[in-house]
Amino acid sequence: MSDPTTTKTCLPSKAVAETAQSKAAVQSNATTEATPLLEVRHLTKHYPGFTLDDITFAIAPGRITGFIGRNGAGKSTTLKCVEGAVHPDSGTIAYFGRPFAGNEHFAKQRTGFELGGADFYRTRRVATIADVTRRFYDHWDETVFARYCQLFQLDGCKRIMDLSQGMRVKLTVALALSHHAQLLILDEPTSGLDPASREEVLDILMDAAHRENAGVLFSTHITSDLDKCADDILYLRDGKLVGSGPLAAFKARYAVAPLPEARAADAPVLGLRRTAAGDSALVPSDAGIGHPATLEDIMTHLPKEDVA
């Protein structure tokens, strides 16, 4: 959890002020403080051998939501449904209080997506992609983009294939922020980044959320990312949303104890993990045993629930 007052600033203060002003101008007259930026209800998608089942969540302004789950849990499918690249079998998606269906243009003008690992048009130059992208957005701000390029040391003359994975992610984040997106949706933006670059990207997301009141939804496997910046969490397992809500409350539900101690206390074992010191068990925190679970503990224990 991060405190906005201690958030590292990734923009010069003047830039932040200008951005905030532009942001305020952009913010839709249709959105209010109470309206979720994104509301997904009962989203279901069937594939042979996999079902994304009844996913419901909302993203509020100014909050960062971490989307976690194992590979194949359905995170990317959920995000693709939200982007409109995949059609859900049932359920509703609403952006800024309006149904996505029929308001796609409205929603995407205000949302920044990064779902493809920023791995497109590898032979094209950064400046070309920026020049093409800006034509799609009513509120594209060239000054902001130039500032992010400077901040991220993005060279407009470089081809995408010459950028590291981290720089590609930074490019897509810069593109999203330069049209004053009120909502950022990113699929594993920190995957493949070195620790320093990861910190930088997370700082940017925190700036977007806490200084510009944007909502952020990002999937990740790296629990330390969530510990650093997430306010809320969505935990997906086998296509089902098994945990959602404030991160602190989610973590407070669980404790970790050695398996024999859990058995002796007759505590319900929610998950198991084999360690050098013996099996450890994830138990409800109200069992009164063990120590508070970290997010890493929860993620590594819970998938083995069936074993228990």
Partner 1 sequence: MKALIMKEFRLVVHPATYMLALLGVLVLIPSWMYGAIFIYGILVAFFNGMNARETHDLAYSFALPASRRAMVRARVAVMALIEAFMLAFIALREPLGINGIAVEQGPVGCAANLYLVGLGFALFGLFNAVFYPLYYRNPLKVGAPFALACIPAALAIALLEALPYLPWEFCAPLGVPGFHDLGAQLTVLGIGVTLFAFATLWGIRRASHAFATFDA
Residue 251 binds partner 1, judged by CB under 8 A: no
Is residue 258 a contact residue for partner 1 (CB under 8 A)? no
Interacting residues with partner 1 between 54 and 113 (CB under 8 A): 80, 83-87, 104-105, 107-109, 112-113
In the complex, minimum distance from the CB of residue 156 to partner 1, in angstroms, rounded to a whole number = 14
The nearer residue to partner 1, 129 or 255, going by C-beta atoms, is 129
Q: Which helix (H) or strand (E) holds 260?
A: helix 259-264
Distance CA 283, CA 264 (A): 12
- Can residue 159 be called a binding residue for partner 1 (CB under 8 A)? no
Residue carrying structure tokens 């079998």: 89
Q: What is the DSSP letter of 179?
A: T
- 25-44 positions binding partner 1, by CB under 8 A: none
Query: Does residue number 192 form part of the binding site for partner 1 (CB under 8 A)?
Result: no
CA dihedral of residues 40, 41, 44, 50 (deg, nearest 10): 60
DSSP 7: P
Among 26-34, 119-127, 188-196, 259-267, the segment contacting partner 1 (CB under 8 A)? 119-127
Please give the Cα distance from 162 to 122 (Å, whole number).
8
Q: CA-CA distances (angstroms) from residue 143 to 150, 167, 299?
A: 11, 19, 41
Q: How far is the CB of 46 from partner 1 (least distance, A)?
A: 11
The span from the CA of 17 to the CA of 23, in Å, is 10
- The piece of 63-71, 118-126, 162-170, 247-255 that touches partner 1 (CB under 8 A) is 118-126
Closest approach, Cβ 104 to partner 1, in A, equals: 6
Residue of 140, 28, 23 lying closest to 95 (CA atoms): 28
Whether 182 and 37 have beta carbons less than 8 Å apart is answered as: yes
Q: Does 119 bind partner 1 (CB under 8 A)?
A: yes
Q: Which of 7, 28, 56, 133 contacts partner 1 by CB under 8 A?
A: 133
Binding test (CB under 8 A) with partner 1, winner from 24, 132, 248, 307: 132
Give CA–CA dist 187/119, Å, rounded.
12
Binding site for partner 1 (CB under 8 A): 80, 83-87, 104-105, 107-109, 112-117, 119-124, 128-129, 131-133, 135-137
